[in-house]
Amino acid sequence: MAKEGAEKAEETEQMIAKEGGPEAAQGGGGGGGSPRAADTKEMRAVLLAGFGGLSKLRVSRRPMPEPQEAELKIRVKACGLNFIDLMVRQGNIDNPPKTPLVPGFECSGIVEAIGDNVKGYEIGDRVMAFVNYNAWAEVVCTPVEFVYRIPDDMNFPEAAAFPMNFVTAYMMLFEVANLREGMSVLVHSAGGGVGQAVAQLCSTIPNVTVFGTASSFKHEAIKDSVTHLFDRNADYVQEVKRISPEGVDIVLDCLCGENTGKGLSLLKPLGTYILYGSSNTVTGETKSFFSFAKSWWQVEKVNPIKLYEENKVIAGFSLLNLLFKQGRGGLIKGIMDKLIALYNEKKIKPMVDSLWALEEVKEAMQRIHDRGNIGKLILDVEKAPTPLMANDSTETSEAGEEEEDHEGDSDNKERMPFIQ
């Protein structure tokens, strides 16, 4: 059974009040925001009623989970929004889970209850965590092996922006590609959360040259984080070869499609190409067979003999599969320890693009779909939605049954996030 005695419950309420204001301890939304169920048996969560467009998302009341053995119950303060969440919404992933479901894979908050056989954590601890779905809610439960303490000077939005981006970047650079002094790296989507994490981690190694591609409107904001920056629509292959005729040592590709062949062509001997996403398959609001087929057709058909002759390495990386399907939580724990040490040494820092209320999840997803973010988008559980957006995310039943929005409705609404 969970250890939730009266004293612990009181201590938790005091911590929530301290972090979220007096309204939070009394069941209010904190930060002038959203109400919580007074009986603490229900919670607010973002519900994906079915795969498809933005109309499939709603904020709904859901039963509050309780920790099982070796789990922690976390009162969520902030959640990370990643491109993979957009692909999940569309059903654009292998073996998608059944709907309805609560999306989200990472969050930060306060430990509220502790399951049996959990050591090293106390109620009231500030933590960040990976969650196998269900992160976009007021409360989550997740195995203790996926939970990490937040450094003292890191706030909750930064903590929610930290695990997925920096672990992915670190694993690719140092565990897969073996980044060393004097090497060169090409990273696509350099203005995104992973791209900026890659740039910061490269700066911790002497004389690493970083080539980045990004939308032109992002260049001014990120120009100091990379050595050479190109427009995402330009012929970056020729630009890279003009600066470095031999190519680069590492290519980090989240786009796929025609960029696979381009990346392989840029590799030096003993270079490593790593695919960690396929955002080129996402073109519209819903899953597109045409976009998927086009991307598949454009992918370079890899010949192992050619790799052998050219001394090149091709690899793939999926952090979520590594954590939740392949049982490497212990490995990731060690990586997080190293990353937190780098943060404490002020060598890395998560970049937060903007904060959104749960009720603003559609607008947040549209921003990431439009590639408009510089850094990480965060769902702030205690943020009050702007009045213009609040009416678009009315509560539904647990099954998410409600008449769908008319196509294009969201285009008529002004997007007003809190930009940090």
Q: What is the CATH number of the domain that holds 249?
A: 3.40.50.720
Residues 102 and 194 in one domain: no
Q: Which of 108, 134, 158 is the last residue of a domain?
A: 158
Residues 225 and 276 in one domain: yes
The answer to the question of residue 93 being in a domain is: yes
Residues 275 and 319 in one domain: yes
The answer to the question of residue 207 being in a domain is: yes
Q: Which of 350, 372, 392 is the last residue of a domain?
A: 350
Q: What's the confidence (pLDDT) of residue 184?
A: 98
**CB contact set of 145 (below 8 Å; sequence gap of 6+):** 70, 329, 330, 333
Q: What's the confidence (pLDDT) of residue 3?
A: 45
The answer to the question of residue 180 being in a domain is: yes
The answer to the question of residue 72 being in a domain is: yes
The answer to the question of residue 339 being in a domain is: yes
70: domain CATH number is 3.90.180.10
Residues 183 and 256 in one domain: yes
The answer to the question of residue 271 being in a domain is: yes
**CB contact set of 236 (below 8 Å; sequence gap of 6+):** 186, 211, 213, 230, 262
Residues 319 and 183 in one domain: yes
- Give the HSE-up count for residue 193: Cα atoms under 13 Å, Cβ half-sphere: 25
Q: Which two tokens stand for residue 100?
A: 């309805």
- DSSP structural state of residue 406: P
Q: C-alpha angle with apex 321: 197 to 147, nearest 5 degrees?
A: 65
Q: For residues 53 and 257, what is the distance between their CA atoms, to the nearest angstrom? A: 23
pTM above 0.85, yes or no: no
Q: Which of 158, 191, 222 is the last residue of a domain?
A: 158
Domain that holds residue 250: 164-350
Q: What's the confidence (pLDDT) of residue 387?
A: 72
The answer to the question of residue 181 being in a domain is: yes
Q: What's the confidence (pLDDT) of residue 286?
A: 53
Residues 241 and 132 in one domain: no
Q: What's the confidence (pLDDT) of residue 323?
A: 97
Mean pLDDT of the chain: 83
pLDDT less than 70: residues of the chain: 1-40, 278-301, 388-420
Helix (H, G, I), strand (E, B) or coil at 137: strand
> Which residue is listed with tokens 């109309």?
55
The answer to the question of residue 340 being in a domain is: yes
Residues 336 and 195 in one domain: yes
Domains held by the chain: number = 2
Residues 192 and 341 in one domain: yes
Residues 146 and 177 in one domain: no
Q: For residues 75 and 112, what is the distance between their CA atoms, to the nearest angstrom? A: 6
Residues 256 and 175 in one domain: yes
Q: For residues 174 and 178, what is the distance between their CA atoms, to the nearest angstrom? A: 4
Residues 177 and 319 in one domain: yes
Residues 139 and 213 in one domain: no
